[in-house]
A and B are shown apart, each in its own frame.
Chain A
Amino acid sequence: MISWRNLKFNLLASIKKPSLGALSYLAIFACSLAAVMLAPAPRLPWVAGGCLVVAALIYPRSFYRLMRLRWLAMIGLLALPPLFLVGETDRSLLGIPYSSEGLMSAMQIALRILVILVSVQGLTEAVDISSIAGLLERAGFRGLGFSVGVAFNLLPALFQSAQNAWRSLWMRGGLRKKRWRALQLFAVVVVGNALNRAEEIAIAAEARGFSPEKCLAYPIKKSKLDWLILTLALLSIGAMILIR
Chain B
Amino acid sequence: MKLSTRELAILAVFGALWGLVEISLGSVLKTLNIPMSGAVLAAIGLAVALIGRAFVPQRGSTLFIGAIAMLLKLFSLGGAVLGPMVGILTEALVAEIVLSMGGQPRRMSFILAGAFGVAWVLLQPFVTGPLLFGRTVLVVWLDLLDRGGRLLGLQPTAAIWIVLALLVIHLAVGGLAGWMGWDIAKMLQSRLGRMTTDVIQ
- Contact, CB under 8 Å: A144 / B16: no
Interface size on A, residues (CB 8 A): 64
- Contact, CB under 8 Å: A151 / B13: yes
- Contact, CB under 8 Å: B135 / A109: yes
Whether, in the assembled complex, B19 has its beta carbon less than 8 Å from a beta carbon of chain A, the answer is: yes
Residue of B55, B68, B131 touching A144 (CB-CB under 8 A): B68
A-B contact count (CB 8 A): 171
Q: Which residues of the partner chain B approach A81 to less than 8 Å between Cβ atoms?
A: 139, 142-143
The 3 closest A-B pairs by CB, nearest first: A150-B12, A151-B16, A147-B12
Q: Which residues of the partner chain A approach B55 to less than 8 Å between Cβ atoms?
A: 195
Whether, in the assembled complex, B110 has its beta carbon less than 8 Å from a beta carbon of chain A, the answer is: no
Residue of A113, A132, A159 touching B20 (CB-CB under 8 A): A159
Q: In terms of DSSP, what is the predominant structure of the interface of chain B?
A: helix
Q: Which residues of the partner chain A approach B143 to less than 8 Å between Cβ atoms?
A: 81
Residue of B1, B2, B8, B188 touching A146 (CB-CB under 8 A): B8
- Contact, CB under 8 Å: B24 / A151: no
Stretch at the interface among B72-80, B101-109, B116-124, B162-170: B72-80
Closest-by-CB residue of B relative to A193 is: B13
Please list 13 pairs of residues, one from A and one from B, whose beta carbons are closer than 8 Å in the complex, sorted by A's number.
Answer: A33-B132, A74-B81, A109-B133, A116-B82, A129-B72, A136-B71, A141-B67, A148-B68, A152-B16, A154-B16, A155-B16, A187-B180, A205-B9
Contact bitstring A106-134, B, C-beta under 8 A = 1, else 0:
00110111001100110010001100110
Whether, in the assembled complex, B199 has its beta carbon less than 8 Å from a beta carbon of chain A, the answer is: no
* A195/B192 contact (C-beta < 8 A), A155-B19, A190-B17 known: yes
- Contact, CB under 8 Å: A194 / B13: yes
* A152/B81 contact (C-beta < 8 A), A81-B143, A142-B3, A195-B55 known: no
Q: Which residues of the partner chain B approach A37 to less than 8 Å between Cβ atoms?
A: 131-132
Q: Which residues of the partner chain B approach A144 to less than 8 Å between Cβ atoms?
A: 64, 67-68
Closest-by-CB residue of B relative to A78 is: B133
Q: Which residues of the partner chain A approach B9 to less than 8 Å between Cβ atoms?
A: 147, 150, 198-199, 201-202, 205
Residues on A close to B: CB < 8 A?
33, 36-37, 41, 44, 65, 71, 74, 78, 81-82, 85-86, 105, 108-109, 111-113, 116-117, 120-121, 124, 128-129, 132-133, 136, 141-144, 146-152, 154-155, 158-159, 162, 184, 187-188, 190-192, 194-195, 197-199, 201-202, 205-206, 210-213
Kindly identify, within residues 114 to 172 of chain B, every residue whose CB is under 8 Å from any CB belonging to chain A. 131-136, 138-139, 142-143
CB distance from A231 to the nearest CB of B (A): 25
Bound Cα distance A74, B188 (Å): 41
- Contact, CB under 8 Å: A108 / B134: yes
CB distance from A51 to the nearest CB of B (A): 13
Bound Cα distance A124, B82 (Å): 12
Closest-by-CB residue of B relative to A41 is: B134
- Contact, CB under 8 Å: A187 / B184: yes
